[in-house]
Each structure stands twice: as structure tokens, then as C-alpha cells.
Amino acid sequence: MLGRGVFEVKARKGLIRVEAVVREGRVESVSIRGDFFLYPEDSLWMVEEKLRGVGVEEAPRRLEQLIGELGVRLVGAEPRDFAEALRGALRRAEEG
Amino acid sequence: MRRLRVLLYEAPENPYMNLAFEEAFARLRAAGIIPDTLRIWRNRRAVIIGYFQRAEEEVHLDEARRLGVAVARRFTGGGAVYHDLGNINYAIALGPSPESTRDPIGYLYNYLVRGALNALRILGLNPHLENINDIAVGDHKVSGVAASYRWNAPFLHGALLVSTDLKVLSSILKVSKKKLEDKRVSSVKYRVTLIKELLGRPVSYSEVVEALVRGYGELLGAEAYYDLPWPEELEAARILYEHKYRLEEWNLRRTPAYRFREAERLFSELVAGAR
């Protein structure tokens, strides 16, 4: 079973739009798009990469952890804003 | 006295070249090859999207095509902007300092942005910062900035709405419903206005240039001087244009910068040769 979902969250600064593809309860791929500010910029691709294969239940929490582990700095947004966008996208992906 | 190099180099007919040059001079400043530089430039007709955006989500692509508006992606985050000759862009690239290294984000968004605020004051306005990266006068936005320290040196650029065609802007840029619904956030972003309207008179390109040069000169306590692009900048811009900025993979497909291996290889060679 393959599902795809998109969800948007408006942070204090910037819109976070997450698109997720789910296969059998795991994250197949994630794309985090929007007009937010995130530093270093290229850590975003690493976050996306490291979410592949993570279980749907733990993925949002894992995303928040990755932001910390990779030393990502956000301007006008919180890690939980990104997690919330991912949670919404995964839910929609599972709904099909 | 500290000196600030000013560059009016622009390629208004080719936004991809303009953005290739933007990255070229930012990186050459970070590499210590060129001095502190303020660049002022324009595009004739283009939408510039942020590094994390996907073109079709931000731009009515059919409408852009119909109107001959190019869609180009920049290396900094933030949102899509519409550029015509009534929009004047400023970009400042400095070497690293203890302040910028200690708190790069604060340095960029609380300090370096203030050169543009000075410029607006010099033009006779009373601007303030809003939503981190917007510059507003009263309750209307006149400029948005985006910044980076990706090469370990401070870089900030912004767009000043002097006399832009706002009808084209609103017909081309998509606005997310989520953003319009959200009342928590000041919607200054969607209440843009023009500097010529605020001043109630036409404002020339050279007047804005002078204001930006003075504004940044005062901020940095530096004496400004005008210069031409260096051969290294033009060569670096050519490399980045050829192997990155002119490509759809970059502009339309949200491909990570590091994937453009040939651009990176040739750029590194150029920097090694220039040292």
C-alpha cells in the first residue's frame, strides 16, 4: 500500500509544506518545502534522507530529534512546526 | 577607514546570470578573494523563488510563460518575489567577524539588514522590521530580505519595491490559503506597497542606489567606492551559470546545490587558482 499526502503548517515566520509518501507503515520519502529559513541550508536534504524508512508513528518525533542532532537552526519556526507538518502529511498519506 | 566596494553589475535580461553572479560574488567574498562588497542590481521580468520552494507551488507557470516572466531559483531560503525594473535588489557580502561568527543569524537579521533601513530613512521614510525578514513602512511591506552564512561569511540580499508593476506580481505569484487564513501572523507580506507611492513622487534608480550606498556605508562605518566586476567574479558567474543556474534541475526541480558537481569542481579550481 502506497499513499501520498501533503500538509501545510504556518509557522511564526514561513509556511512549511510537507509531502510524504508512505509504504506499509514506513516513510518512503519526504519533501519539506516552503518559504521558511533554515540553516545550514543543505542540512534539509539530510533530514529528508534520514527520514526514509522510519515508521510512521515515530517519524515526527524523529524529525524533531534530527533537527537537534544535525545542528539545524531555524528562524521564526520551531522543530515542532516541522513535526506537525510531517504528522499531517503522514496522516493524509495513510488515509490514501 | 574601512572601505566598502560597490558594484552595479547586472544582467537584467537574464535572471539566471544575475543569480549566478550573486552566488559568485558571495562565495568569492567568503573565500577572501574579493573585498567587502555591496551589489545593486535588477531583473527586467522574473520570479525568484527561495531555495526550499518548488516552482509550480509558488508561481502560476502558464501565466508567467504567457507574460514572458522567467522563473529562477536563488540559493537563499524564504519566499518567491517578483522582479521588474521597478524593483531594486541589494546584496551585501562581508568577511567573517567575531560578531558574525558568534551569532550569525542575529548578525544577519538584526544588524546587516539595517543598511537597507538606513537607505529608506535617507529616502525620507520611517521604516521598521517586521516578521524577521520584512521591512515595512506603516503597515505596508516595501522590502523583504533573505540571508545566508553557508560559506561561513555573512551574506544578505533584499528586494526594494520602488515602482514595480504590482498587478503583474499578483497575477503571477500564488498565495497559500493557509497563509491568508492565519490571523496570528501579520499579513504585511500581502500588503505590499511601492516606495514611489509612499513618497508621492517618482523615485529614480540613481536616487535609490545613492541611498543604499550611504545606508550601508553608515552602518558599516565604511567609505564606499564604485568598482567593476573582477575577472574572477565574471569567470565564477560563468561557471555557475553554465553548470547550475541556467538548468531546469536547479530552477524547477528543487535539486540540492551539492548535486551540481561540475559547478562545484570548476568553482573550487577557480578559487584555488585565484589564491
Fold entry, domain A2-95: Enolase-like; domain 1 (3.30.390)
3-state helix, strand, coil in chain A (%, to 5): 40, 35, 25
Instruction: Give per-residue pLDDT as tens, B58-117.
Output: 999 999 999 999 999 999 999 999 999 999 999 999 999 999 999 999 999 999 999 999
For residue A14, the SS3 value is: coil
| CA proximity to B57, closest of B82, B80, B78 | B80
Give Dmax (Cα) for chain A.
37
Per-domain boundaries in chain A: 2-95
Q: Give percent above pLDDT 70 in chain A.
A: 100
- pTM assigned to the model: 0.96
Asked if A31 lies within 8 A of B254 by C-beta distance, the reply is: yes
Contacts of B11 (CB under 8 A, 6+ apart): B17, B18, B21, B41
- Chain mean pLDDT for chain B: 95
- Edge to edge, the sheet with strand B222-227 lists B127-130, B134-137, B140-148, B155-161, B87-93, B37-41, B2-7, B222-227
At what angle are helices B15-30 and B231-240 packed, to 10 degrees? 120
Instruction: Give per-residue pLDDT as tens, B218-256.
Output: 999 999 999 999 999 999 999 999 999 999 999 999 999
Q: Which of residues 113 through 132 in chain B touch A, CB cutoff 8 A?
A: 131-132
Contacts of B273 (CB under 8 A, 6+ apart): none
Asked if A10 lies within 8 A of B179 by C-beta distance, the reply is: yes
Lowest mean pLDDT among B37-51, B164-178, B226-240: B164-178
Q: Which residues on chain B are in Cβ contact (under 8 Å) with A15?
A: 176, 178-179
A33, A36, A41 member nearest B148 (Cβ): A41
Domains and CATH numbers, chain B: 2-274 (3.30.930.10)
pLDDT of the residue at B275: 86
Higher pLDDT, B148 or B190: B148
In a mutational test of the B interface, the residue from A37, A48, A72, A81 whose CB has the highest number of chain B CBs within 10 Å is: A37
